[in-house]
Structure 1
Amino acid sequence: MVLKCIAIDDEPLALRLINDYVSRFPALQMVNTFEDAISGAEFLKHNPVDLLFVDINMPDITGIDLVRSLDVKPMVIFTTAHKNFAYEGFELEALDYVLKPIDIKRFTKAVEKAVDYYKYRSKPAEEAAEESLYVYSEYRMVKIDLGTIEYIESMEDYIKIHITNEKTILTLMPMKKVLEKLPASKFQRIHRSYIVPVNKIRSIQNRKVQLTDVELPISESYNDFARNWAKQK
């Protein structure tokens, strides 16, 4: 498995550094580099690649506008000298963003995420869903091992994913969509506001589900789940 990459950056030094870093990874192949966004965008129209490293702030068009203009979007890692990452990058579902000056350790982390996600995306949907959940949070993609999910909570347009011994992850996604990404045999919706992992249910009583550290309500429309769970015990 080798990911074909290109890099677009109007700073020649930054471009050379990215090219040097990419050469250290056997899983990556740098196909081309560009010092202006227009040339890079034209190349991408006729030459699909797996991974794009692109600067956000460039004089002709921004990296964000470039990615938005692509009909077929590769995985994207934004590079930028500014800490205030644009919200539009989140909307484009960027894989990651790396601050300049680019550190090799941070670059490695971004590349490992790209390789991991590529493998995940290449698996059959059913097989991939059995292992992990990928969501966008804080302007980058986050991988969540299914076994670490305590429960998922709806917050209107957002959802909160409660993780064992880790920070809660907030992502812009409706409950229906996240439920489609999860294996039905392992996760069940019990309320318009809650999804729970079946194997972490300790008990169900008085239309309430007792998990490891929290008790959640079961709405009337999901009573069938409670009855089916009780029959299996």
Structure 2
Amino acid sequence: MRTVCGFGRAVQALVGRRPLAVDGVRPLVARGLPLLSTGPGDQVRDGVRLDQVDATTCGSAVLVALSAWASAAELERLDPGGADPVVGGVRQGFGARYDARQKQVHRETNRLWPQALGTTPWGMVGWLTRNVPAAGRYRVRLVDDSSAQDLRPLVAEVVAALTAGRPVPVLVGTVVPRHWCLALTVGDGGHWNVYEPTSGQVRAVDPELVGRRALAPVLGFDRLHAVLSPRG
């Protein structure tokens, strides 16, 4: 059974829209100061678990992590150094700044789309284009995970991007899209090291699980709906 995005990808194929070639994915000109480590494990900074602040901000947590990967300004915003400011009699440490930043990004990515429904792929791309040009250009790549013909180039796209040091946001769900994660690197045995923001962990994901529609044990939901693929 196709997912919602799988039907969208099938329509694209019918009208002759093909995936872009994976050749020519370039590394970033400059690297930021990453929040996340690239190996599997809990993601903690200043004693704060780097998880999503609420049930609707998985996309925002992914965007903050990708922004820090590409631009030092993101981490400097979250961890400016010096004494923590006091706001309303409450000391604002790293955790408060990190939560507030996710909520700010969520507002900025959802200009028309209801915040309660999370963040659309097009909202994610638009925010990156406006706010983090150092991350390079991304495009929305819908996925039909019921089609081996569609998955082969998709996996090649993701591997090419990760090998070039370009993280790839991935959207998973049931028959409808539900949850954003961030593929960071290709790890041991060809596994993808993927940040899963509900747990605040980087987890090793066997890409063969995409074709089996069995991602839930590692990413929370079985089906892959879309990725944000770097463009050059």
TM-score range, shorter chain: under 0.3
Which of the pair has the greater relative contact order for Cα pairs under 8 Å at 6+ separation? 2
Greater percentage in strand: 1
Greater percentage in helix: 2
Higher Rg of the two aligned structures:
1
What TM-score do the two structures reach when normalised by structure 2? 0.22
